[in-house]
C-alpha cells in the first residue's frame, strides 16, 4: 500500500472585495514542490483565479478514472492516443441535509490509434472496469456516472 500527503498553508490577509472578512486563498504543495493556489469557490467568497476544493475533487476523480482506464486499455492491447474529460460535480444537499458533492458526471472522449479499435460494448466495459477499480471513486459517496464517447 502507499501513503499520500500534501501541505496546506494559509496566512490571514484581507479579502480583496469584502473588508469585513478574510481571504480564503491558500496554497497546496504537492510532490515535487508544485504549488497550487486554492480558494473557496466564488459563491463562498473565494478567489476566481484559484482552484477550489470542489474542482480538485473532480480533477482527482477524473484523473484516477483516466489512469485506471489507460492501464486497462494497455493490458488489453489498445493504444490510446488521446483522452479528454470534463468532469461535472453537483454541490447540493445530501440525504442528511448537508451540502455535498452528491453527483459527479464523467464525460471522457477517447481516441485510439493502431489497428485494434474497441467497439462500443468493449469501450463501455473498459470504462466500467476503470470506475470499479478507481481508488478515488471507491473513496467517495457521490454517485458517479460515466458517459463515454
Chunk the chain into consecutive blocks of 10 residues (it has 149) and report each block's average pLDDT, rounded to whole numbers. 93 92 96 94 95 97 98 98 98 96 97 97 98 97 91
Residue 135 lies in a domain: yes
CA distances from 53 to 9, 38, 89 (A): 14, 7, 11
Same domain, 67 and 136: yes
Same domain, 107 and 88: yes
Cross-strand partners of 90: 103
What backbone torsions phi and psi does residue 63 show, to the nearest 5 degrees?
A: -65, -45
Distance between CA atoms of residues 133 and 120, nearest Å: 20
Distance between CA atoms of residues 68 and 132, nearest Å: 9
Residue 1 lies in a domain: no
Q: Give me the number of domains the chain comprises.
A: 2
Same domain, 36 and 98: no
Same domain, 132 and 63: yes
Residues with Cβ within 8 Å of 79's Cβ and at least 6 positions away in sequence, in order, are 73, 112, 113, 114, 116
Output the pLDDT for position 149.
82
Distance between CA atoms of residues 121 and 63, nearest Å: 22
Residue 2 lies in a domain: no
Output the pLDDT for position 145.
92
Residue 143: CA count within 13 A, CB half-sphere:
7
What backbone torsions phi and psi does residue 11 show, to the nearest 5 degrees?
A: -130, 135
Q: Is 144 left (phi over 0), alpha (psi -120 to 50) or beta?
A: beta
Same domain, 33 and 78: no
Same domain, 22 and 67: no
Same domain, 78 and 121: yes
Same domain, 81 and 115: yes
Q: Which domain holds residue 84?
A: 53-146
CATH, residue 68: 3.30.300.20
Output the pLDDT for position 32.
86
pTM of the model: 0.92
Amino acid at each position: 500500500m502507499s501513503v499520500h500527503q500534501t501541505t496546506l498553508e494559509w496566512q490571514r490577509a484581507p479579502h480583496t472585495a469584502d473588508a469585513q472578512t478574510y481571504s480564503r486563498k491558500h496554497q497546496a504543495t504537492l510532490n515535487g514542490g508544485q504549488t497550487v493556489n486554492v480558494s473557496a469557490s466564488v459563491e463562498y467568497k473565494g478567489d476566481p483565479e484559484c482552484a477550489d476544493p470542489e474542482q480538485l475533487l473532480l480533477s482527482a476523480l477524473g484523473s484516477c478514472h483516466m489512469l485506471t482506464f489507460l492501464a486497462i486499455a494497455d493490458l488489453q492491447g489498445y493504444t490510446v492516443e488521446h483522452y479528454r474529460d470534463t468532469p461535472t460535480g453537483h454541490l447540493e444537499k445530501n440525504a442528511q441535509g448537508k451540502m455535498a458533492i452528491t453527483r459527479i458526471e464523467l464525460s471522457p472522449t477517447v481516441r485510439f490509434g493502431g489497428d485494434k479499435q474497441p467497439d462500443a460494448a468493449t469501450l463501455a466495459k473498459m470504462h466500467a472496469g476503470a470506475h470499479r477499480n478507481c481508488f478515488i471513486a471507491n473513496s467517495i459517496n457521490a454517485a458517479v456516472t460515466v458517459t463515454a464517447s
